[in-house]
Structure 1
Amino acid sequence: MVIGSIVAVGVAKMTFGGIGQNIWNPALVGRVFLLVSFPTYMTTWSQPQGLFGVDAVSGPTPLGAIQEGLMQGSSVQELTSAYNYSDLLFANLGGSAGEVCALALLAGFVYLCVRRVIKPWITLSIFATVALTSLIFWSIDPSRFTDPLFNLLTGGLILGACFMATDYVTSPMSLWGGVVFGVGIGFLTMMIRYFGSYPEGVSFAILIMNSVVPLLNMWFHQKKFGRK
């Protein structure tokens, strides 16, 4: 945590001039640095055992387990049978804070939208793109590719789409710029999940699209007040 904080604040934020000047989301820069530097520690988590269970049982996250199983020749149907959607929704599985309890994360997203703290179009475009992309691949080969609902509820997708991609500094200012930004994140996430060496791609996808934000702001202008 200390190393990640130093990289996030010292490298990703302060080297660009501090608050409001950074190009990439500092929290994601710190997370990706830790993920690349310490992959085992960042992808192995304790599984919930109930109130009177054993102290801890370590294991991979659902996405990690799927990737390992596919490399060993198992089918997606066999691997996903170990999980049900209620476990994914109510956090009855191991993972980091952004990979568990999808329901709580979605409740937080709705609250922020109601309070008009964030705009929903970036998040919704990410969800729609992930669902559509995974639906296409799943329809082609369901034994190799996971279904849309599984992809929406697993990994750090909900946390990234709701709270990281919507960061004011590193996201586009216009509506259509935000939509293109979200579509890019969703598509890159699925490409990394399906074909990359890491089971999760949300952090990488957001950072890649953060780099494109200046171009999106140039291509999609906000209407100026007082002008048609």
Structure 2
Amino acid sequence: MSTRTIMQCVILALMPASIFGVYNFGWYALFLICITIATTVCSEWLYNKITHHKNTTGDYSAVLTGLLLALNLPPTLPWFEAVIGGLFAIFVVKMVFGGLGQNFMNPALGARCFLLISFAGDMTKFAFDGHTGATPLAIIKSGNGSVNLLSMFLGRIGGTIGETSTLCLLIGAVFLIAMKIIDWRIPLVYIATFSVFALLFGKHGFDLLFLAEEICGGGIILGAFFMATDYVTSPVTPMGRIVFGVVLGIFTGLFRFYGSNAEGVSYAIILSNLLVPLIERWTVPMAFGQVKEKKGGAQ
């Protein structure tokens, strides 16, 4: 498959969650999606024009970056902040390091974390049905109130535009796995590791309902299947992908249960991206016919 085809498949897989996000939050969510995608595409075209490089917008990677960033934004975010996020994703995280294939972290998540630091108030303001309130994860963490698991699975809750419907995200995930666009190791090991961490250290004991709420709430499904599996910022070796998934699950558990924030997926993926070179160094299989060099010289 070409890069263009892979990007188009991932965009197609995100359509159920995107359409539901617009249905769930209204037309302003669609406006944020469109303006963020327009920003990332125009930014990449402009960077290539200024630096006299070949136009790379035709590979659809900028479109995917814009869509993923938009799906990670609150549906009430001011539009100019979404534009700033798109500019940061392309100029700072992607193109400055050499473009697609050279970036050391996921551009969409890098931009989201930048926006969380720069506009913390707007990035943590969530509205649903015209009312602003805490997300289900925040309610669970505070212990003040109850949540509805079925609503969390279907997506009729507050949150970012694309993370609320576990059902829609799983439909897209099954499509990507069936088309062999992504490897099952990273997302499944990630979710399995987080599940074990949550049951052992989540301070709720062996509570499967609590675990289901933690998985259906927040960005674990979106992050596990659509961002942690990014070709550029994830390991290429099978064992490396397993180790990567374990690290992701541990980081997410630490941030969620021992940090001040109820989420943690974005920071977990970015930190794990930084560890990919070490993970690959430790897990690259030895070529046939070679042996490890022992102290004192080759054996």
TM-score range for the pair, normalised by the shorter chain length: 0.7 to 0.9
The answer to whether the 8 Å contact 2:197/2:250 transfers is yes
CA shift, 1:141, in A, is: 4.3
Q: Following the alignment from structure 1 to structure 2, what is the Cα–Cα distance between the partners of residues 223 and 97?
A: 44
Partner of 2:102: 21
CA shift, 1:223, in A, is: 7.0
Percent of paired sites with the same residue = 42
Alignment of 1:45-60 (within 5 A): 45-48=126-129, 56-60=130-134
Q: Which is higher, the Rg of structure 1 or of structure 2?
A: 2
Q: Following the alignment from structure 2 to structure 1, what is the Cα–Cα distance between the partners of residues 183 and 269?
A: 17
CA shift, 1:107, in A, is: 0.9
The more displaced of 32-41 and 121-130 is: 32-41
The answer to whether residue 86 in structure 2 is matched with residue 5 in structure 1 is yes
CA shift, 1:20, in A, is: 0.6
Q: Following the alignment from structure 1 to structure 2, what is the Cα–Cα distance between the partners of residues 125 and 100?
A: 21
Moved over 6 A (4+): none
CA shift, 1:215, in A, is: 1.0
Structure 1 spans left out of the alignment, 5+ residues: 49-55, 71-75
2:148 to 59, 65, 84: 84
Alignment of 1:147-162 (within 5 A): 147-162=210-225
Q: Which deviations, in whole Å up to 9, do the C-alpha atoms of 1:9-67 show, x marking residues without a partner?
A: 1111111111110000000000011112112211222213xxxxxxx111121122334
Partner of 2:56: none
Q: TM-score w.r.t. structure 1 length?
A: 0.85
Q: Following the alignment from structure 1 to structure 2, what is the Cα–Cα distance between the partners of residues 125 and 25?
A: 19
Q: Following the alignment from structure 1 to structure 2, what is the Cα–Cα distance between the partners of residues 64 and 132?
A: 21
Question: Matched residue of 1:60: which SS?
Answer: coil
The answer to whether the 8 Å contact 2:204/2:210 transfers is no
The answer to whether the 8 Å contact 1:132/1:148 transfers is no
1:93 to 157, 160, 167: 157
Q: Name the amino acid aligned to 1:58.
A: T
State how many pairs are aligned: 205
Q: Following the alignment from structure 1 to structure 2, what is the Cα–Cα distance between the partners of residues 86 and 175?
A: 34
Q: Following the alignment from structure 2 to structure 1, what is the Cα–Cα distance between the partners of residues 256 and 162?
A: 16
CA RMSD of aligned residues (A): 1.7
The answer to whether the 8 Å contact 1:98/1:155 transfers is no
CA shift, 1:131, in A, is: 0.8
1:130 to 194, 198, 211: 194
Partner of 1:42: 123
Partner of 1:169: 232
